[in-house]
Amino acid sequence: MSKAGSFVLHGAAAYSESKDRLITYESAYVVCEDGIARGVFREIPEKFREFPVTELGEKLILPGMVDLHVHAPQYAFHGTGFDLQLIDWLDRYTYPEEMKYKKKLYAERSYDLFVEDLYCGASTRAVIFATRHVGATVRLMELLDETGLVTYVGKVNMDRNVPEGYCETTEESLLATEKWLARCEAKEFQNTMPILTPRFTPTCTRALMDGLGKLSAEFGIPVQSHLSENLGEIEWVKNLEPDSAYYGETYDRCGLFGTNGKTIMAHCVHSGDEEVRKMKENGVFIAHCPQSNMNLMSGAAPVRRYLDQGMRVGLGSDVAGGAETSMFTAMKDAVHVSKMRFALSHPEDTPLTLSEVFYMATMGGGEFFGRVGSFMDGYEFDAVILDDTNIATLHRMNTEERLERAVYCADDRNIVSKYVRGKKLY
């Protein structure tokens, strides 16, 4: 791994300036100064002429992508178990797998595979659920930290409706979280950070969420959870928490909905008007996980409405609700799901465009990390280099066409180089 530097990459380039502004070049110079992007140019500006130039020929230079929602322990069964909806899926496949991470050796071996997969793909950043176990979660963070990828990782909190042996008491859960935060601090990680992770309201009492809200406020730690994913889940929350006007309020009343720190809510497939209004008001990030929503039969999220209202939306693989970590797949699935929603039930919600899904995979999720996900001046320099020569065609394609084809046809094997915060990882 090299140090963050100042350099220029020359090749074809694509990046977003906004959800509606996709910028493409057939041949351009992408400039990084001390780990920060300085823009994309047809000719190298005078002040950057001294920087070393890496010649990439026709390869495509793209901003690194952001997986805004993924479960590391579920990688162990990725691509299997899609015959059930959310709650039964959790009971039948997910909790039994996650329980195994109590054993350090099992966790080590499984997390090695997950981290290797993430390292090889198009993601330069990710926001990750671990399990309830402090030891295994710290080990995952160590493995991730070594890669140079920038990540948030959460020790999962749960104090009800989880099988014996995996459930914590409220006190255990809060104490373990404090212990975990102290261990994170002592480790002095360079690239990985803790994020508070109440699994979702069905598995978290109000007392637990109040405690986590206090921790979030005290230490300024961000929050991630799940919201309004599945109709059965939403009914269950209504029964468990009759005093809350809507599902999201069960987080909001505890300071876990964007008021104490940045917050990601995964899914939001069935959010009502009040919930959407509150998410918008509080600047909550929505992690749209289209493949998971198909696999677990959850539905088609109203992403068109979220984007049109200027809400913060990124993409998540949600492995193992989603089968794979590829952000190309996530972009493709986001387009497909939006087309099905448009064609089958909501003709007013026009399908997502290439520009919009590319924005969500880069700048949309990147915003959670700060100025991340673009090559505009001032953005942290995360880039992936794509070699698409194996995708055969007789046509001479322009960069936008090649980007669209990458969304539909590329996979991790097309990523030949990766830069994070100006450091070349490979």
Considering the rule CB under 6 A, would residue 321 count as an interface residue with ligand GUN? Answer: yes
* Residue whose structure tokens are 């990882």: 425
How many residues of this chain bind ligand GUN (CB under 6 A)?
11
**Helix, strand, coil % over all residues of the chain, rounded to 5:** 40, 25, 35
Write the binding mask 62 to 81 for ligand GUN: x where contact by CB under 6 A, - elsewhere.
Answer: ---------x----------
Considering the rule CB under 6 A, would residue 290 count as an interface residue with ligand GUN? Answer: no
How many residues of this chain bind Fe ion (CB under 5 A)?
2
Minimum gap (Å) between residue 396 Cβ and ligand GUN: 42
Q: Which of 117, 145, 168, 318 binds Fe ion (CB under 5 A)?
A: 318
SS (H, E, C) 10-49: EEEEEEEEECCEEEEEEEEEEEEECCEEEEEECCCCHHHC
Q: Are 61 and 12 in contact (CB under 8 A)?
A: yes
| Rounded-to-integer distance, Cα 293 and Cα 337, Å | 9
Write the binding mask 16 to 55 for ligand GUN: x where contact by CB under 6 A, - elsewhere.
Answer: ----------------------------------------
Q: Are strands 263-267 and 223-227 parallel, antiparallel or unpaired?
A: parallel
Write the binding mask 165 to 204 for ligand GUN: x where contact by CB under 6 A, - elsewhere.
Answer: ----------------------------------xx----
Dig out the tokens for 365 from the structure: 């999720």
* Residue whose structure tokens are 């505009």: 376
User: How far, in Å, are 233, 264, 270, 382 from residue 225 at the CA level?
Assistant: 14, 6, 15, 26
Considering the rule CB under 6 A, would residue 90 count as an interface residue with ligand GUN? Answer: yes
| Rounded-to-integer distance, Cα 204 and Cα 327, Å | 30
3-class secondary structure, 296: coil
| Rounded-to-integer distance, Cα 288 and Cα 121, Å | 19
Considering the rule CB under 6 A, would residue 119 count as an interface residue with ligand GUN? Answer: no
Minimum gap (Å) between residue 65 Cβ and ligand GUN: 20
Q: Which of 23, 60, 94, 278 binds ligand GUN (CB under 6 A)?
A: 94
Residue 94: which of Fe ion, ligand GUN, none does it interact with, CB under 5 to 8 A by kind? Answer: ligand GUN
Q: Which of 9, 30, 65, 86 binds ligand GUN (CB under 6 A)?
A: 86
Which chain residues interact with Fe ion by CB under 5 A?
266, 318
Which chain residues interact with ligand GUN by CB under 6 A?
71, 86, 90, 94, 199-200, 226, 229, 292, 318, 321
